[in-house]
Amino acid sequence: MIGSMVNFEDINQTTIYIPYSGPDDDSDTPSDIPFPAPPLKERDFLDGHELRLKAYRVAWDKCLTRVQSIVKTLHAPVVSDVAMQVQESYSKVLPGLPYPELPVFCVTNLSGSTSFLNDVSKCLEVDAGVSEGQASTFAVHLHPSDCANVSNGMKAIITGFIERDSGLDQVKHRPATSLANFDINLLVAWYKALKETATYSSAPPKLVLILHDFEQFDPATMQDIFYILRYVPSPFFPYSLISLSCSGKALQLPLVFILLLSTPPIPSYLQTTYPHSTLSLLRITHCVVPSGPKVLEEVLLKTFFDIEFEPCVFIGPAILEYLMDYFTRYNSSIDGLITTLQISYLKHFTSEPMSLLVLETPSVNYFSEADAFSLLDALLTRLLAPSEQSPSSTDASDWQEQSIPSLVKLMDETRAQFYVHSLKFRLGFRILLIIQGFMTKQGYKGLNWDEGSTGSGLCDVMVDALRGNLTRDVKYLGTMVKKFKVQQLHSLLNELHPYFRDMPTHVRVQVEAAWTKIIFLRNTLPKNDDDASTAGKEAVSEFGEWLIEYLNDLILPLDESLLWDVWYTGNSTFPSEVINPSVRASLLSGLLRPLEFGDSSLAENDAQQDTETLWQLPDTNILFRRYLDSGKMINIYDWLESFQAVLDTQKEELKNVGDVPAKGSRSKIGANGKGKKKQVSADEDDEEKWKVEVQARFMRALHELDYLGFIKHTGRKPDHVMRTVFNVTD
């Protein structure tokens, strides 16, 4: 099965993963190797992992729903445009064409998001202008593997349409009297019968072909398919190139192609790969799905820096920096972005025992258990510790007066305080963006955020905000506001006023004083600069000073809150080895120290990895150790001899451990010595079997190293192989 799905000769795949299928003996016996203990287990509940997993699912589902809604909103204009043009593909045809053309929509989706295709399919299947129960389009999805040749491609297209639930009765025909399933006449007959039904007699549906990964399709095969579907077939010549449109007859199959491309629209892959004779048969329309750093900024802004959405867990600057680097350099897909966020959430809930407090505080019964005392002690230490602002000591009586119910209440208050802090942080960041945008529209350079240090624009600003490095930017913008004319301040207040007015009610409560000040200034300032007096200029300067102080009070780092590491990842780094592993280092580590991957208790003793215990390692690891001791060219026979020496030691050690003769069990030898001869003959047979077993184990280990790319065969010396890896340090 693996061989049919994986192409080992594909030059685009740097690594191929072959999943483990179990031992050769198909044994269902569970392994005795203990599962590694989670980090910080001493501060966890007995069932803390279950509570954290439950909290993770709720927190991640909320974040994922938000990201998907943002992506759907970004894709909505392109999705509606593609759906509308598909519906009108045969109603708005240019008159006077010498021959009909196939409508082809080239959708460039550089982000690689699968949600875009799902949105397009749903929009095509259900149309608001069609009555209930009637589909406006029939869509068939084609992949490169479906079109290995013309016959398979036509079969996939035809069977994809006629085997769907279209309301027609399925009639079983005799093979001798039926058309082949790759014959285009079969599709024509099916569509004619479909149009004669009462459901589709007034508005027959369009036949839409969605081709995934169009760059992977064979161009020669697709040229033939375009030619076949472009010309309506003759009853006697299935693949006749006679165009019925020239004789005034209507097109019998309203086919529409949607080509999903992952290459830039300029130059177009379709126009650079296919000849002009094929392109002349197509009416090509290009559509581009939003992608690039702007999509990343939009997702991050509306997920973690929007006052209308409050995530359960906030990502820190370290994870945000890695996300920017990974998105811009390696994988610019929406799916990759979602995966990175999910792994960040998963790491937060698996590495920090107190993350189970993200959503709610466990009941008093949980804290009353003996295994919760360590977590209880950690919470008391963090909650009741003196702050940096008031470093006063806490009396012992204050600690003794604390009860578990009071701790639960205090924890709930701490959670509410953190979310208020995060709300003010997001609010201040948004106000800063409004002022910066106003500066740009007025012709000022402002903070020049569009040209970030890494070319990521606002993403760099988000990192600086999380690290508390926006004080200088806030002061600069406030100084610019103080230099405004009265009319410019009026324009700025007119932009800030609707933002405060449209805030949710729970947010507006936090900014009531600021909103009142904006309304007062908006109503009392002169309408133009001619009427501005000294008092008006002083009001402008005073507003600039107030703005600096107000924004600095709002944009405070999240790690200044109490118990911030419960809801905020902080400077915790992203586990890049999970999403972008170092394959070479992992392979070498597995071959050099295999016991660390199986039993953590054995890995603690480095002496078990010495040469004296080489016989305890698996065959591939033994062969690899001998591989490291050889030169550039390895003699296969010498390699086998060194491998056999280790296996002989392994055989003797296992024999000494497991074979203990019972008392009184002596072998009986006859007087004529025949018993001794039989024993010698049996030993010789065992020795031959052992040599065959050693050779078989050697070949299997050798093939595994060959698959991993550690050896290279040479044509000069058939009994030698060449090393490909050098300078390996244990």
Of residues 693, 384, 703, 686, the one with CA closest to residue 563: 384
Instruction: Specify the DSSP class assigned to residue 593.
Output: -
Please tell me the least confidently modeled range out of 356-365, 400-409, 450-459, 473-482.
450-459
Categorize the per-residue pLDDT at 344 as very low, low, confident or very high, splitting at 50, 70 and 90. Answer: very high
Tell me which H or E stretch contains 579: helix 576-579
CA–CA separation, 482 and 480 (whole Å): 5
User: Bigger pLDDT: 43 or 692?
Assistant: 692
Strand partners, 210: 141, 258
Residue 240 has a pLDDT of: 39
Whether the per-residue pLDDT at 667 is higher than 60: the answer is no
Residue 76 has which token pair?
Answer: 């909505």
Residue at token pair 């301040």:
489
Categorize the per-residue pLDDT at 245 as very low, low, confident or very high, splitting at 50, 70 and 90. Answer: very low
Question: What rounded mean pLDDT belongs to the chain?
Answer: 78
* Mean pLDDT confidence for 14-32: 55
Q: Confirm if 152 and 146 have CB atoms less than 8 A apart.
A: yes
Please tell me the least confidently modeled range out of 33-47, 82-96, 297-311, 427-441.
33-47
Q: Confirm if 698 and 623 have CB atoms less than 8 A apart.
A: yes
User: Bigger pLDDT: 48 or 487?
Assistant: 487
Edge-first strand listing for the sheet containing 711-713: 633-635, 720-723, 711-713
User: Bigger pLDDT: 45 or 33?
Assistant: 45
Residue 217 has which token pair?
Answer: 């399709």
Instruction: Specify the DSSP class assigned to residue 152.
Output: H
Looking at the chain, the whole-number percentage of residues with pLDDT higher than 70 is: 75
Q: What is the dihedral of CA 30, 33, 38, 43, to 10 degrees?
A: 100
Q: Provide the whole-model pTM.
A: 0.75
Categorize the per-residue pLDDT at 48 as very low, low, confident or very high, splitting at 50, 70 and 90. Answer: confident
Amino acid at 573: T
- Residue 21, CB half-sphere, CA atoms under 13 Å: how many? 6
Q: Please report, for residues 99, 228, 307, 359, the alpha-carbon distance to residue 188 in angstroms, rounded to integers and kept in the order given.
A: 19, 12, 56, 59
Q: Please report, for residues 61, 170, 311, 349, 564, the alpha-carbon distance to residue 568 in angstroms, rounded to integers and kept in the order given.
A: 17, 59, 10, 11, 6
Contacts of 105 (CB under 8 A, 6+ apart): 82, 85, 86, 256, 257, 258, 259, 284, 285, 286, 287
Residue 553 has a pLDDT of: 92
Q: Confirm if 34 and 599 have CB atoms less than 8 A apart.
A: yes
Whether the per-residue pLDDT at 316 is higher than 90: the answer is yes
User: Bigger pLDDT: 597 or 424?
Assistant: 424
User: Bigger pLDDT: 200 or 587?
Assistant: 587
Residue 167 has a pLDDT of: 56
User: Bigger pLDDT: 611 or 580?
Assistant: 580
Q: Confirm if 252 and 244 have CB atoms less than 8 A apart.
A: yes
> Among the residues of 659-715, which ranges form H helices?
674-707
HEC profile for 588-603?
HHHHHCHHHHCCHHHH
Strand partners, 284: 104
Instruction: Specify the DSSP class assigned to residue 568.
Output: B
Instruction: Dump pLDDT digits (tens) for 598-642.
Output: 554 444 554 444 444 788 888 998 999 988 888 889 999 999 999
* Mean pLDDT confidence for 422-438: 92
Of residues 298, 271, 334, 307, the one with CA closest to residue 115: 334
User: Bigger pLDDT: 238 or 38?
Assistant: 38
Whether the per-residue pLDDT at 699 is higher than 90: the answer is yes
Residue 323 has a pLDDT of: 92
Whether the per-residue pLDDT at 510 is higher than 60: the answer is yes
100 phi/psi in degrees, rounded to 5: -70, 155
Residue 312 has which token pair?
Answer: 């359960």
Please tell me the least confidently modeled range out of 42-46, 81-85, 104-108, 409-413.
42-46
Residue 309 has a pLDDT of: 92
Amino acid at 16: I
DSSP notation for 483-530: T--HHHHHHHHHHHHHHHHTS-HHHHGGGHHHHHHHHHHHHHS-SSST
* Mean pLDDT confidence for 467-483: 90
Secondary structure class of 353 (helix, strand, coil): helix
Q: Please report, for residues 29, 211, 542, the alpha-carbon distance to residue 520 in angstroms, rounded to integers and kept in the order given.
A: 77, 60, 13
Q: Confirm if 643 and 694 have CB atoms less than 8 A apart.
A: yes
Chain centroid to Cα 94, Å, comes to 43
Sign of the Cα pseudo-torsion (61, 62, 63, 64, in order): positive
Whether the per-residue pLDDT at 429 is higher than 90: the answer is yes
* Mean pLDDT confidence for 691-711: 91
Question: Domain boundaries in the chain?
Answer: 88-167+177-291, 295-360+421-566, 582-657+680-723
Residue 29 has a pLDDT of: 45
CATH number assigned to the domain covering 88-167+177-291? 3.40.50
Q: Confirm if 434 and 496 have CB atoms less than 8 A apart.
A: yes
Residue 141 has which token pair?
Answer: 């999805």
Instruction: Dump pLDDT digits (tens) for 320-340.
Output: 999 999 888 888 888 889 999
Instruction: Specify the DSSP class assigned to residue 387.
Output: P
How many angstroms separate the most distant Cα atoms in the chain? 135
User: What angle, rounded to 10 degrees, do the helices at 512-524 and 486-501 form?
Assistant: 140
User: Bigger pLDDT: 696 or 672?
Assistant: 696
Instruction: Dump pLDDT digits (tens) for 369-382.
Output: 766 677 777 777 77
